[in-house]
């Protein structure tokens, strides 16, 4: 099956890792927090199971941790360079930004994790 988009574009737009067309989440907006995790059971385009096994997305916590650390380092760099802020000011503002970004981080962590696992599986099955 020809893939319509690159992997980077598909991850940024939260698309299915197999067909790169179907949307991974029911609602386009990650807000409100209540609906941020709603995913269809299967890809509407290729039928890939979006919940292959119970607890599948536990591994996404590691991706989420990495994204959070990268986001915090980025925040520290620009806050220090622009305002020359000390650590306690950074910690307060960064904590607020991290809470606001929870749904975005959550979705991208799931998406990236799904791409990693799907990539391994498709190579194992000889689909690539």
Beta bridge partners of residue 23, listed in sequence order: 15
Paired tokens of 18? 């197999």
Give 44 or 66: the residue with its C-beta nearer to Zn ion.
44
From 28-36, 43-51, 65-73, 88-96, span contacting Zn ion (CB under 5 A): 43-51
Of the candidates 60, 58, 53, 22, the residue with the CA atom closest to the CA atom of residue 40: 22
**Interface with Zn ion, residue 11, by CB under 5 A:** no
Contacts with Zn ion in 20-39 (CB under 5 A)?
22
Q: Do 30 and 110 meet the contact criterion of CB atoms below 8 Å apart?
A: no
Coil, strand or helix at 49: strand
Find the shortest distance in angstroms from Cβ 78 to Zn ion. 36
Give the up-direction half-sphere exposure of residue 115: CA atoms within 13 A in the CB hemisphere.
20
Contacts with Zn ion in 69-98 (CB under 5 A)?
none
The single residue among 11, 19, 60, 109 that binds Zn ion, judged by CB under 5 A, is: 19
Find the shortest distance in angstroms from Cβ 1 to Zn ion. 9
**Interface with Zn ion, residue 103, by CB under 5 A:** no
Give 85 or 115: the residue with its C-beta nearer to Zn ion.
115
**Burial of 63: CB neighbours in 10 Å, binned 0-12, 13-18, 19+:** buried
Coil, strand or helix at 125: helix
**Interface with Zn ion, residue 45, by CB under 5 A:** yes
Residue numbers of the site for Zn ion (CB under 5 A)? Answer: 16, 18-19, 22, 43, 45-46, 48
């Amino acid at each position: 099956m020809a893939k319509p988009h690159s992997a980077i574009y598909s991850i940024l737009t939260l698309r299915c890792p197999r067909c790169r067309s179907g949307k991974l989440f029911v609602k386009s907006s990650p807000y409100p927090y209540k609906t941020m995790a709603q995913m269809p059971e299967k890809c509407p385009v290729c039928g890939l199971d979006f919940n292959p096994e119970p607890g599948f997305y536990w591994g996404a916590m590691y991706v989420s941790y990495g994204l959070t650390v990268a986001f915090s380092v980025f925040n520290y760099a620009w806050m220090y360079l622009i305002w020359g802020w000390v650590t306690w000011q950074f910690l307060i503002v960064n904590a607020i930004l991290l809470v606001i970004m929870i749904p975005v981080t959550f979705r991208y962590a799931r998406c990236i994790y799904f791409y990693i696992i799907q990539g391994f599986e498709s190579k194992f099955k000889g689909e690539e």
